[in-house]
Chains A and B, each alone.
With several copies, the nearest count.
Chain A
């Protein structure tokens, strides 16, 4: 190349550069990897800057496109902020939103969705794996309800699913599915929205969206902007690796989670948050009675990478709304820790974490005068 093009690596949507051709091939390969990992078609992958954008694109996109058909949306209290805050904004703009409340285990009954569906419902947005407590919702049953309803599209936030439990878009009956790379050991700042193209076979057209950002016509004109080739390639690789290793890895992680929970349970005054059976093992959420939340975190954080509340929202330092939705008191919600278990976690890590937590919780209970609690 004698003169450089405007960008370093070429624009994969550009048809006039040789650089662009190479970049386009890389992006196509990544599209295939992501699609294969989640049971979707490569053409259904719309790249985004993360699951936050994917969630916003799904929710605003459907709401705006179908605003003449209806302005009612169903979601749940335990969704990610990206879903809840988008819904709140739609409420400010005149939409109505039903927020389903899960049971004390964090689970929704598909009957709750059935009861909430209205003629003017245009969207049901529910997550597959909850990011704070790891519970897995029965999305397929909801998919069937939406298909029966005919007018309600189903969006699934699956940012936490890939590599943690099987997820197959085509079988879920979902129309839209949000994905994120960095939850699967990929780079931050890239994700995807899967947009179904097989609606015809189900007797209604495919879901349509009004884009969030315009200009340039990339990604089936659903998401304008220069594609970051290196980011997308990273996401593809991460998803391929996740798919290859996940079943073996899940058994190993389940064992570690068991060990962690049993270790902590001997402390007494601990409660596990969320269903233990309908959940992925990569997330364990535990409430510690008799200790104040901020002190708990400060005491363990030099040694154990745990978080309070949602890892994504802890800038706001408020008690987890997810745990509150499960009926936990404000205090207990604050003194809860979310442990993430994954590829790099070993048995020795678990034992060390149990030791630190046991020591620190006992110490804090002594300081708090709640040691007998």
Chain B
């Protein structure tokens, strides 16, 4: 398997790996380690702004990289009820083979699992 530069960079740094805790932390998880892909996002949200974001991923390098990127870009912005980019765009940017589309959906589920309650909470 070959990985593009972006994927390699986020896979090897994986800067935002970890967990957060606290009353203002919203967590979303999706997938199943036993099935080969599991992703978790922790978003710390204050007044609608993402103060910190962490991820965990038992997953392939593409999935790790996309998750790491999502966590990184979220910080400092209003919490977003959708992914910041389309799945197709992410797939292209990270050079993810089509066979892995299902893993993008797992990422999306985990993301929404954290972001949607955060939004709801604000309301």
Q: A residues engaging B (CB < 8 A)?
A: 15-16, 21, 290-295, 297-299, 317, 329-331, 334, 363, 366-370
Contacts and interface: CB of A to CB of B under 8 A. Distances in A.
Given A317-B1, A331-B33, A295 B19 contact: no
Given A16-B1, A21-B2, A369-B40, A294 B33 contact: no
Contacts of B11: 295, 298-299
A116 B36 CA distance: 36
B104 interface: no
A298 B9 CA distance: 12
Contacts of B38: 368
B59 interface: yes
Interface string B53-86: 0001111110010000000000000000000000
A306 to B, nearest CB: 14
Classify the secondary structure of B's interface with A.
mixed
A293 B36 CA distance: 9
Contacts of A370: 33, 58
Q: Which of A16, A290, A331, A367 has the most CB of B within 10 A?
A: A367
A370 B33 CA distance: 10
B58 A369 contact: yes
Contact of A294 (B34, B40, B60): B60
B17 interface: yes
The 8 A-B pairs at the shortest CB distance, nearest first, are namely A368-B58, A369-B56, A294-B60, A367-B17, A298-B61, A292-B58, A295-B61, A367-B14
A30 to B, nearest CB: 20
Contact of B59 (A292, A299, A317, A329): A292
16 contacts: A292-B60, A293-B36, A294-B1, A294-B60, A295-B60, A298-B60, A298-B61, A299-B12, A299-B61, A334-B36, A367-B17, A367-B56, A367-B57, A368-B33, A368-B58, A370-B58
Contact of B56 (A298, A299, A331, A368): A368
B121 interface: no
Nearest to A334: B36
Contacts of A317: 1
B1 A331 contact: no
A363 B1 CA distance: 21
A15 B61 CA distance: 15
Given A21-B2, A370-B33, 15 more contacts: A292-B36, A294-B1, A295-B11, A295-B59, A297-B1, A331-B33, A331-B36, A366-B18, A367-B17, A367-B64, A368-B56, A368-B58, A368-B59, A369-B40, A369-B58
Nearest to A365: B58
Contacts of B36: 292-293, 330-331, 334
A156 to B, nearest CB: 34
A64 to B, nearest CB: 31
A299 B12 CA distance: 8
